[in-house]
Amino acid sequence: MAFDWMQRSGFVSVGGVSLDYATHGQKPGEAPTIVLLHEGLGCVALWRDFPEKLAEATGWGVFVYSRQGYGQSDPAPLPRPLDYMKREAQEALPKLLDAIGFENGILMGHSDGATIATEYAGGVEDFRVRGLILMAPHFFTEAMGLREIAKAKETYDSGDLRAKLAKYHKDVDSAFRGWNDSWLHPDFDDALTSDAIDYLRIPALVMQGREDQYGTLAQIREIETRSYAPVDVVVLDACRHAPQFDQPEQVLKAVSEFTVRLGRIEAAEVEVA
């Protein structure tokens, strides 16, 4: 059965894996599409009303889905390979974009999702992807971030975090262990490479909270100094690891302005051609 954007929510089969999704705004072919890639413990439901607001602010279509192992999608086998983000970018995401009829637009990721978006843009030749929006990306591990992830493990094992996450994830252990065990593995930093940055050839908007508890602004400087394509940087005050919730209006404004500029670039290229 062909994917129906106007169904608005449901499940899409990608490589034999069932993934839950939601759509907002116009479908591919009527407007560009923003594909949202969630954080390490995220899913469709945990984006709350941000996707809808994003569609309203930009006039673009927005597609959001839960990766395998998250939300109501099929569970992922454990343990996950330490390079799970690169594999997601190079093996699963291309099939997903084809399945939903993606024609052109932007990959917008948060945390792990931002890293996956970068891995895709730097490692997969896909001229449909015209820009990146990265919120709190990870290109290498930092001690302060690993401490927070270790705290999350303690809260999951003996606190109330497991019960909270179980409201959103069909297989909560698959979601949490797949993320947490990987990040705390002693060899994880070797798998979390930033090599994809060196191959970026499309504009990027990068946002991070000044009080981000999982990463410092060194993550932003990594892409700002190494990308061959233009990089716009927005550092948000009074903001921790989730800019879309801590500073939603500033994020929506920055994204809207970025899509307008990208549209002008696209129009100019067509005119020149």
CA dist., res. 16 & res. 70, Å (int):
16
Say yes or no to pLDDT of 48 above 70. Answer: yes
Q: Does residue 70 sit in helix, strand or coil?
A: coil
Residue 186, Cβ neighbours under 10 Å: how many? Answer: 7
Which tokens sit at 48?
């709350």
- Give how many domains the chain has, as a whole number: 1
Q: Looking at residues 71-81, what average pLDDT do you find? A: 96
Phi, psi of 248 (to 5 degrees): -60, -40
pLDDT exceeds cutoff 70 at 1: no
Distance CA 266, CA 270 (A): 6
Q: What average pLDDT does the segment 82-103 reach?
A: 97
Cα 266 to Cα 5, 168, 271, distances in angstroms = 24, 38, 9
**Are 108 and 180 contacting, i.e. CB atoms less than 8 angstroms apart?**
no
What CATH number does the domain containing 220 carry? Answer: 3.40.50.1820
Confidence of residue 96 (pLDDT cuts 50, 70, 90): very high
Stated pTM of the model: 0.96
Average pLDDT over residues 56-65: 98
Crossing angle for the helix pair 50-58 and 248-272, to the nearest 10 degrees: 40
Which structural domain range is residue 22 located in? 5-272
CA dihedral 96, 99, 103, 109 (to 10 degrees): -20
